[in-house]
Structure formats: structure tokens, C-alpha cells
Amino acid sequence: MSTVVIGGGDEDGSDRAPLFSARAVLALVLVGVVAFAALAVLSAYAPDLRSGNDGRAHALSKSAIGYAGAPILLKGLDERVLVSRTWPNGFKGAVVVLTPSASQQAEVLKPFQGAERTLIILPKWAAAADPLHKGFVRKVGLGGGDFSKLLGAYSKDTRLADRKAVARPVLRGAGGPFAGGTTLPLGPIDRLQTVSGAGWVPSLVDETGAIVLAVSRQHPDVWLLADPDLVNNQGLANLDTARAGAAILQAASEGGANSILFDVTLAGFERGRGLGRLMLEPPWLAATLCAVSAAILMGFHALARFGQPRRRERPFALGAAALVHNSADLVRMARKEAQLAPAYAALTRALVLKAGGGHMQDRWLEDLAARRGAAAPSALTVEAEAAKTRDDLLVVAKKLFDWREEMTRERR
């Protein structure tokens, strides 16, 4: 009967190949580092990477109620247009187009008061996201809402009204930027929305005299467009409506004299200045690169051994050196170091005599010390015998060492 052996090698598996090779581990580490760095950069710039095509009414939205088409139209008419993601920081020579919602308060409009002109476009429709097409919306009804709080700084009572059906109204100039005699025919507008209030002066009105474009009585640089269908994407789909919307925006920019900024910060698309983004832009980018380089070098330094590996010492040392160290430890524990001073003095004297040939006498040693200007050996012996503390021993030992070098000329 034959025996089938599955696998191979010893029972302890000593000859088995490792589960992961060194190259595979290094590749995994590099991929992890690169992925983490990419995640950090994307997190820092996440607000800028959002397309904004969420179906709401702002300049990044391509839905029917969005205003993404208006900047494209104005650029085609050679207007200076910008979709602004930053909070206001001086608007000299710029027209700001704001698209607030009914739920926002008057405080959101205060930072834009320094603009050359402000065009506020009121919302009109209540819409829901289309589940079949991303970025599309479905009409739910009129959004309406109370804008008295939002526009309270310009008029105490701002009221909205709308027609009951689809019509093709004709707008006529009533003052301000649109003088009398101006005519702007529109395409089909569903439920044309108009505005009224004591603080508003009419600039464009429909056939019934209802205000479509108003100018603030106290702040002539603030305009209010009641119906967004004149400039949103579904309105610009009609040529007549697109001409009327472009005329309103060009009048606000005074025929190209001022640049037009479509603000999207009110919709939550502001460009932040977080710590992560600060470290990835000059002048702090240099410091970040230095820190990353230092971390990489430290990682490579930790991966490779440097220098000769230390041998593992025995728990208990053997040999003459171990006996010397043990004896020294016993003397130190007993605090008897000072009693070694006379013995060290005798040893030093013996070494000097040995260096002289070994047949010299004490008188010769005294005479040699006197001729070389060194201390007498008898004086050093007396000082060694007088040592009482460890510090005294160190002083005497240094003198004896220097005396021996002088007598034997070892230092030369």
C-alpha cells in the first residue's frame, strides 16, 4: 500500500516559504502611504471638487431651476463672469447675483453690501430630485414663502403674487435702469411671479402693472428680480426669455463696465481655509514637504540596521575582568574606597622603580624627583595615608598618576 504525502518539509515547517515576501510588504506599505496622502489632499480640497449639480437653485446647478446657463450665456455676450465660491472680501466694480432661499435670514445679505450692485433673485418653485436622472428635478408646486425677514432691511412688507396659468407676458420699462418705452417680450412663463412693497420702486412691470424687477427705494444699488424663470435654465431655453434675462443682467453690469459674480456661498459651496488646505499651499507648502521628507527618511532609517549588532551578554560574566568589577563593586558598597589610597601609592612607586631598571633605591627615587621638580614620593605616600573619603582618593590618585608620567616621561 502506498502512502500519499500532502505538502512537504519538516513537521515544524522550518523550510516553508514566508506568507508574504519582502517586496509584497514594501509594495503594500507604499500603496498605503500614497493612498493616505491622496485622501488627505482630497479631504482638504473636497469643497472645490464638488460639482454642485444637486438640483437646487444656484449657479452650479444644471437642473431646470438652476442658473448654470446664465454664466455661459453672459460669457457668450463678452461679459466678465465668475461663479464665486469665496465669502465677500471687497466687491468694488462687481455686480453680485444672489439666489437665497426663503428660510434664510437677513444676516446672510449683509456681507454683500459693499458690492457695486446686488441683484437678488427670489425663488419660485418647490422641486424634488428626479430619481431617474441625477441632477434633474420634478416640479412639486410653488415654493412661495415669506421674504419679509430676508428683505426687511429694504422693505418692511415684501409680498409675492403669481398668475394662475401659463402666459406670454410682455415686460415694459417703468423707471430706473429701464426707462419708459422699453419692451421685453417673454416666452411662455408658468405662473409669472411679481412683487410689491412700500420699499420697492418698479423698474420692469408686466401688462397689469405688477412689478417683476424692482429697485430698493433706500438702496438704489439693490435690485430684486421676482420671477427666477427669466434667468434660470428652463427660462433660458426660450430665445425671447433668454434675451430678456440677458438684458436685465447686462443692465446690472452697465453694459460690461462691471464684472458679474454669481454667488454660491449661500448654497453652501464656499471655499474654506482649513488647516489641511493651509499646509498644502504656499508659503506653508515648503514646511509640509520638509516634514514629509523627514518622515520618509526616518522610515527608511528604521527599516535598515546600522552598525555592528551588539552581542548578547551572559547573565553572569566570567574571567579576570569580571572578578575585578565584582571586587570594585564590593569595595564601593562597603564604602572603603579611601583605604585603597596607600596601596595605589605603593603600586605607583613600584611601577616607577620598575621603569628605572628595578635595581633603584628609595634615595635615588627621591633625588630623581627633586631634579625633575616633581613631588617627593614620601610626601605622596603620607597624603595617600591621610585620605578619608572617596573625593580624597580621587585627588591623590590624580597626583600619583601625574607624578608617574613625569618620572617615567610617559607623556612625551
Question: Which amino acid is present at 239?
Answer: L
In this prediction, residue 139 carries a pLDDT of 82
Q: Reply yes or no on whether the pLDDT at 121 is more than 90.
A: yes
The stretch 46-67 carries a mean pLDDT of 82
Exposed, middle or buried by CB within 10 Å (0-12, 13-18, 19+), for 23? exposed
| 69 touches 236 (CB < 8 A) | yes
C-alpha cell at 288: 509640509
Whether 262 is covered by a domain: the verdict is yes
Could you tell me the CATH number of the domain that includes residue 57? 3.40.50
Higher pLDDT, 281 or 157: 157
Please state, in angstroms and as integers, the Cα–Cα distance from residue 324 to each residue in 314, 316, 319, 337, 347, following that order. Answer: 17, 13, 9, 14, 16
Q: CB-side exposure of 277: number of CA atoms within 13 Å?
A: 11
Confidence of residue 382 (pLDDT cuts 50, 70, 90): confident
Please state, in angstroms and as integers, the Cα–Cα distance from residue 22 to each residue in 17, 27, 135, 255, 304, following that order. Answer: 12, 9, 48, 68, 13
Please state, in angstroms and as integers, the Cα–Cα distance from residue 240 to each residue in 130, 183, 189, 192, 237, following that order. Answer: 28, 11, 11, 15, 9
28-37, 103-112, 225-234: range with highest mean pLDDT: 225-234
| 23 touches 96 (CB < 8 A) | no
Contacts of 27 (CB under 8 A, 6+ apart): none
| 260 touches 252 (CB < 8 A) | yes
Confidence of residue 273 (pLDDT cuts 50, 70, 90): low
- Could you give the dihedral angle defined by the CA atoms of residues 283, 261, 49 and 228, in that order, rounded to the nearest 10 degrees? 160
In this prediction, residue 227 carries a pLDDT of 94
Confidence of residue 299 (pLDDT cuts 50, 70, 90): confident
The stretch 104-122 carries a mean pLDDT of 88
DSSP state of 375: P
* Poorest-pLDDT segment among 218-232, 312-326, 377-391: 312-326
Nearest to residue 242, comparing CAs of 99, 69, 97, 125? 69
On the question of a cis peptide bond just before residue 18, with omega within 30 degrees of 0, the verdict is: no
Number of domains in the chain: 3
Higher pLDDT, 305 or 195: 195
In this prediction, residue 204 carries a pLDDT of 95
Q: pTM of this prediction?
A: 0.61
* Poorest-pLDDT segment among 27-31, 279-283, 313-317: 313-317
Please state, in angstroms and as integers, the Cα–Cα distance from residue 232 to each residue in 142, 242, 244, 350, following that order. Answer: 15, 9, 12, 110
Q: Same domain for 86 and 222?
A: yes
Query: Average pLDDT of the chain?
Result: 83
In this prediction, residue 242 carries a pLDDT of 95
Q: Same domain for 279 and 248?
A: no
Confidence of residue 358 (pLDDT cuts 50, 70, 90): low
Whether 35 is covered by a domain: the verdict is no
Q: Cell 616633581 identifies what position?
A: 374
Q: Same domain for 132 and 161?
A: yes
Helix (H) or strand (E) holding 98: strand 94-98
Q: How far is Cα 218 from Cα 235, in angstroms, rounded to an integer? A: 30
Q: Cell 420699462 identifies what position?
A: 173
Q: Same domain for 215 and 75?
A: yes
Whether 4 is covered by a domain: the verdict is no
Whether 373 is covered by a domain: the verdict is yes
Q: Reply yes or no on whether the pLDDT at 5 is more than 60.
A: no
| 259 touches 95 (CB < 8 A) | yes
Q: Same domain for 174 and 252?
A: yes
Q: Same domain for 220 and 140?
A: yes
Helices 390-408 & 362-371 angle (0-180, nearest 10): 80
Whether 12 is covered by a domain: the verdict is no
Q: Same domain for 230 and 347?
A: no
Confidence of residue 8 (pLDDT cuts 50, 70, 90): very low
Containing structural domain, residue 282: 275-305
Strands (DSSP E) contained in 188-295 are: 189-190, 193-196, 200-205, 211-216, 222-225, 259-263
Q: How far is Cα 349 from Cα 83, in angstroms, rounded to an integer? A: 96
The stretch 310-316 carries a mean pLDDT of 74
Q: Same domain for 286 and 361?
A: no
Q: Same domain for 83 and 159?
A: yes
For residue range 144-168, list pLDDT tens digits in order: 677 888 888 898 888 999 988 899 9
Q: Same domain for 290 and 326?
A: no
In this prediction, residue 72 carries a pLDDT of 94
Whether 184 is covered by a domain: the verdict is yes
Q: CB-side exposure of 16: number of CA atoms within 13 Å?
A: 10
The 10 Å Cβ neighbour count of residue 226 is 27
Higher pLDDT, 16 or 412: 16
Whether 335 is covered by a domain: the verdict is yes
For residue range 213-265, list pLDDT tens digits in order: 999 999 999 999 999 999 999 999 999 999 999 999 999 988 766 889 999 98
The stretch 173-194 carries a mean pLDDT of 91
Q: Same domain for 102 and 221?
A: yes
| 66 touches 60 (CB < 8 A) | yes
% of the chain with per-residue pLDDT over 90: 27
The 10 Å Cβ neighbour count of residue 120 is 22
| Geometric angle at alpha carbon 31, from 26 and 35, rounded to 5° | 150
Nearest to residue 191, comparing CAs of 174, 212, 172? 212
In this prediction, residue 107 carries a pLDDT of 86
Whether 300 is covered by a domain: the verdict is yes
Q: How far is Cα 186 from Cα 205, in angstroms, rounded to an integer? A: 12
Q: Same domain for 260 and 391?
A: no
